[in-house]
Structure 1
């Protein structure tokens, strides 16, 4: 009976109809094969704030670094008293504050005409007390601030990632000693390190970069160390050790790619912190100083005339705020894209 029950004949099968084939096809679950980076980029594109911030940062980087051939640095140092303290003037726009007019004695006055400036001469964001174009100084100052932040971040990556991997991989007494060193460095305020750097170096980019390089890598090292402690017990790492691969090769092939998301996210937070730190030091007068310029220097110059010429401080402050917000929004977007579990 059992043989007869399962004895299938050719006439037991019937071809599927067209409607049945379509129904089966519609029930199939198909998704494109994506790599980790492609999947992260797909999630990042859904975050409009992060994408807009990315474009803003790219535009600022391109404008600040790409305009170097068009900005004569000697013009930023040379004073032009005849053009001192001119308000913003944009050709074709007749809006008070952007047409060369400024309130003097409660009335809007054409400062360009009062000073006998030619109609062909205009400054998009006005000038400072020495007659320098504020737009050019902001572009050049943004470049200096970004340069300080990027170089300091490279030190953060080089020292922090290497230190964290070694500490987490070695473990035991080595890890214990290395973590105590991090705690000692973290306990020293950045401002004290900058002051110590000023004893050896003159105020400027070098002292700020060295101060950041000495102190800012500790956060990166701790995060990489924690992730390394988790990864070194994974099967693929144990298999690589069993096969006799060297520690350096394991770190480069297995550990670094798996902590790349942490590196990218932390970098996006380190850059704005470095920009703000540089602006703060330059603002209080122990950072970058004249004739060099940066966003902090521009804020320091602008606050001296803020009561009468507020635009000299507003414009660099707006650029600094936009940079800070854009990097932080992009950092949040990258965090959610690389690790969806952190999404609130």
Structure 2
């Protein structure tokens, strides 16, 4: 009783208690609201700023690849005598002292600045946004023409992954046994042949060009996808929903493409997106060493190879194709990373 009286006599002051902060509780607990799958995908994807940047960059690159060659009056192979090796010049920016066509050369007596637009009386109203090459061709037009080839290679890589690698891996993993053993041994033999050797042999049989590169990618570009699809199939084919479909009499192809594929399609699409930069780099490398698209056609690799010869005297020639190639490969990697975070259920923090 004495203790109760002491507690009753305790006097509370105004500053003994503080009101709870609602915002503090929200920081510790995230409230999940029922949303559609599409809205969840957009929300998760938009959280990854790098992926949003990659998607926007890819859209811009596609836009310029389609409309860029038509933004000026120059053709891809149009050579203008007297307009060789002209530095970039852009309307409006030349008034600010940048992109005004001036070039700085290092000589034995010091540095020297030359503006070929001023020394050439026929080039007073001429503008080359990326400059001109050693033959007087517009680099801006040629870069975006070359980008079309890189985007074509990206499309081929995705199609090959989806329609060859995915189907091959799913069938191999589902049937297993001798079928799986024979199909995997075939992949090991095919993967043991370097891609460069395959392309070289194709060029001997066919003419050098985009066709030989497309066939080379179609022959070996799907191997990685097939292994991922096979691994996913081995993980899911003994699950209860698959056993139930098999018990009800579903045929193997029905189980593969209607029961298992929808559950792993997101992961396979992500894998195909990761293979795009590798395919673009392969085409650019082959073009750089002279096994790609023949001249006078342009690809980013061939433009880099030609500009590399004039790198010391005219470094502006190599910068545009290198930047476009790097941004294209980086953007596809960032986009694939965002798709993985948004579509892969193991990455969701629920």
State the TM-score bracket (shorter-chain normalisation): 0.7 to 0.9
For structure 1, the residue ranges without an aligned partner over 5 or more in a row are 1-25
Q: Give the Cα–Cα distance (whole angstroms) in 2 for the partners of residues 96 and 168 of structure 1.
A: 63
- 1:46 corresponds to: 47
> Is 1:332 the equivalent of 2:333?
no
> Aligned-pair RMSD on alpha carbons?
2.3
**One of 120, 135, 143 as aligned partner of 1:138:** 143
Please give the secondary structure, in 2, of the residue aligned with 1:103. Answer: strand
Q: Tell me if structure 2 keeps the 8 A contact 1:142–1:295.
A: yes
TM-score, normalising length from structure 2? 0.84
> Is 1:164 the equivalent of 2:165?
no
Trace 1:275-294 onto structure 2 (pairs within 5 A): 275-294=280-299
Q: Give the Cα–Cα distance (whole angstroms) in 2 for the partners of residues 260 and 45 of structure 1.
A: 21
For structure 2, the residue ranges without an aligned partner over 5 or more in a row are 1-25
**One of 175, 181, 189 as aligned partner of 1:184:** 189
- 1:56 corresponds to: 57
For residues 266-307 of structure 1, the C-alpha deviation after alignment (integer angstroms, 9 at most, x for no partner) is 121111111110000000001112121110010011001111
Please give the secondary structure, in 2, of the residue aligned with 1:108. Answer: strand
For residues 90-140 of structure 1, the C-alpha deviation after alignment (integer angstroms, 9 at most, x for no partner) is 111135561111114513222101122343210111111111111111111
TM-score, normalising length from structure 1? 0.86
- 1:101 corresponds to: 102
Q: Tell me if structure 2 keeps the 8 A contact 1:153–1:267.
A: yes
Q: Give the Cα–Cα distance (whole angstroms) in 2 for the partners of residues 329 and 33 of structure 1.
A: 28
Count of equivalent residues: 316
Q: Tell me if structure 2 keeps the 8 A contact 1:87–1:97.
A: no
Q: Give the Cα–Cα distance (whole angstroms) in 2 for the partners of residues 37 and 172 of structure 1.
A: 39
Bigger mean CA deviation after superposition, 234-243 or 265-274? 234-243
The list of structure 1 runs, each at least 4 consecutive aligned residues, that deviate by more than 6 angstroms after superposition, is: none
Shift in Å at residue 68 of structure 1? 5.9
- 1:82 corresponds to: 82
Q: Give the Cα–Cα distance (whole angstroms) in 1 for the partners of residues 246 and 70 of structure 2.
A: 52
For residues 45-103 of structure 1, the C-alpha deviation after alignment (integer angstroms, 9 at most, x for no partner) is 10001111111011111221244666789x22232122211100011113556111111
Distance 1:141 1:49, change over 3 A: same
Q: Tell me if structure 2 keeps the 8 A contact 1:83–1:131.
A: yes
Q: Give the Cα–Cα distance (whole angstroms) in 2 for the partners of residues 343 and 114 of structure 1.
A: 62
**One of 304, 310, 317 as aligned partner of 1:305:** 310
Q: Give the Cα–Cα distance (whole angstroms) in 1 for the partners of residues 348 and 216 of structure 2.
A: 33
